[in-house]
Amino acid sequence: MAINLPLLLPFLLFLFNSHFTLSFSGSVNSMESVPDLTKSMYVDFNGYPCVRLLNLTGEIGCSNPGRDKVVAPVVRYKNVNEVTKPSAVLVSLYEFLELCGRISNDSNFAKNIGGVLVEQGMDTQIKSKGFSPDQKFPGAEFAPYKTNNYEWNPIGAGMMWRAYSFPVFLLTEGGTQLVQEVAMNNEKKKNDYTEDVVEFDLVMQTTKSGTHDSESCLQEQTCLPLGGYSVWSSLPPINNSSSNHSKPIILTVASMDSASFFRDKNLGAESPISGLIALLAAVDSLSRVNGLDDLSKQLVFSVFTGEAWGYLGSRRFLFELDLQSEAVSGLNSSLIETVIEIGSVGKGFSQGKNTFFAHTAAVSLATNKTLDALKHARDSLELKNITVSSASTSNPGIPPSSLMAFLKKNPSTSGMVLEDFDTSFSDKFYHSHLDDMSNINSSAIVAAASLVARTLYILASDDKNLSSTVLDAINVNASLVEELMSCLLDCEPGLSCELVKSYIVPTNQCPNHYVGVILGEPSSNPNLGYVDDVSRFIWNFLADRTSSSMEDVRSDCSKECSSGVCIKAEADGKGVCAISTTRYVPAYSTRLNYESETWHVLPSDSSDPMGMVDPVWTESNWDTIRLQVYTAQNVAFDRLVLLAGIAITIMAYLAIVLTRVYIAKALKRD
């Protein structure tokens, strides 16, 4: 016995050491430095996260369940039934829909979901059926009518309005390939002692601090309000000292923000950016028309942000009008005669349908004038394959739109929303990451912009006998529309396109139309570092297109433009002074007040019906968001190593004791 134990110990140590050498020597020898070794062991990859959002009653979105990173082995969805421990599930988009349903209905199953990784790409089922994570009636609580169970968005799954206590990422193409390989490796070495794992770093400050609603997280400063900056401009510029300051106003609006399950993959091509591009193209075409100062009515254009989250932009715009604040200086709500909104118009020529639909709030003289002007504009266009129809009378009212805020504020508001659908959305990818440039048609946007531009001129001139020659001079630049699409809806060239760079220095190349959070104190003259790229571009574009030259034109804005605005200052560091009525308007909840560098939730006010149902959306702060993949030993092997170590230690101790006894006896015999 005494002889066997000493012999066994070196043998065990040899086996352990030889196994370690065979497993790692090849990798170690090829490394030239510790960073090289770390880089080969831990591979970072990219994805678009679902993040934690909060409101007054709770939270939605995704987060790690606690204060720590989540580490979980990767499994394919087809093998998810075999999962007995928290795992990172790799799913296609179609499988993701099924997975979310199972998670909602089976709490035991949900316990084994450590994280979800959604593959880039579109399944055949998704392509044919569509995918919308929003509700079937988005923003139903803000509707100016009571039929809230109507389905404007029939395929809406509502999944983006639920809370998930695990991280969810949409993978990039490269990330998809990497994680697919990792999942295959795990399937091959099912009974091996190692497994490839993903480390999710999606720790939200609100989760760490235990603040699970907007009011508490704003108090603890672990979140910030959703919001940004809307932009409005007038054509021609409003002269506050002139008698024409009292002209009736025709207000044309569009939205610049969209929503998605994944925060940073959010283009909203059809809904609502097609309408935004149509508005910008219409402004451009009208800016080249002579005699705008002689029009009977004032044209005003407004682009709102935050509309996907409770109509933050339009509601705040109306609130500022009531206050007559500096942000809306020159405007008077009592002078607004009609509101024309350009909604989703990018699919007007899709699937053989060449029809736009006019959704109106109610029958009134101003509404009838707008519809007549729209028909007149249609008849003046050479494109005979365009038709404009009134929306179905079976609709409960107008579709989800900024006009809802105006109607809630004043039910007698005259307004129209131009859309490419009648009774339900034509956008099969409403508020999803799949609503990209491939989902729209530039010809449809050109047609919509042409209709709107000529309609506005007809209304503003207030001349029933307007000659066709005048309208024929109003032509939309199709090349501008295509350029705006490539700038606002694609990464190549994206916001690095020449048009955008002629006005601003973008901070990102890839556009993203998520509203974001409002930083610092809201102001009509904000720190431009707190204003996102798209808002700054729109401000400069509108200021440029709606401006009139100053008499004392200077080549730059080296001195303050006392009676005008400075455009293109970012692009060349100098800028150009011009007369333009273009303003930023902060967009955030009317239930919030910023005081002493802190946000406070105000009590609800019965005079603000939309404020009464305002969720007050906020976004959790975070330190970093990161994904890594690496190989780790499984728990069973760790336990085996621990037991082997304990056994070796005990055996070594016994061997030493017995050896000492043996030696002591041998010495005594000598």
Report pTM: 0.90
The span from the CA of 232 to the CA of 95, in Å, is 43
Walk along the chain (670 residues) in steps of 10 and give the mean pLDDT of each run. 45 42 40 60 90 96 92 90 87 93 87 94 89 96 89 96 95 94 86 83 92 96 97 91 75 97 95 98 96 93 97 96 93 94 90 82 88 93 83 95 95 95 96 95 94 96 81 94 97 96 95 96 94 97 86 62 84 88 96 94 88 95 92 70 87 90 81
The span from the CA of 96 to the CA of 90, in Å, is 9
CB 167 within 8 A of CB 49: yes
pLDDT at 549: 63
CB 555 within 8 A of CB 574: yes
CB 418 within 8 A of CB 358: yes
CB 316 within 8 A of CB 266: no
Fill in the amino acid letter for 626.
R
Q: Report the half-sphere exposure of 331 (CA within 13 A, side-chain side).
A: 30
The span from the CA of 494 to the CA of 511, in Å, is 6
256's CB contacts (< 8 A; 6+ apart) are: 230, 272, 273, 276, 303, 304, 305, 513, 534, 535, 538
Beta bridge partner(s), residue 577: 566
Cis peptide before 272 (omega within 30 of 0): yes
pLDDT at 228: 97
Residue with tokens 């005259």: 414
Fill in the amino acid letter for 346.
G
Structure tokens at 518: 């409002």
CB 297 within 8 A of CB 468: no
Nearest residue to 230 (alpha-carbon basis) of 324, 313, 331: 313
3-state secondary structure 223-267: EEEECEEEEEEEECCCCCCCHHHHCCEEEEEEECCECCCCCCCCC
Rounded to 10°, the helix 478-489/442-461 angle is: 120
pLDDT at 668: 77
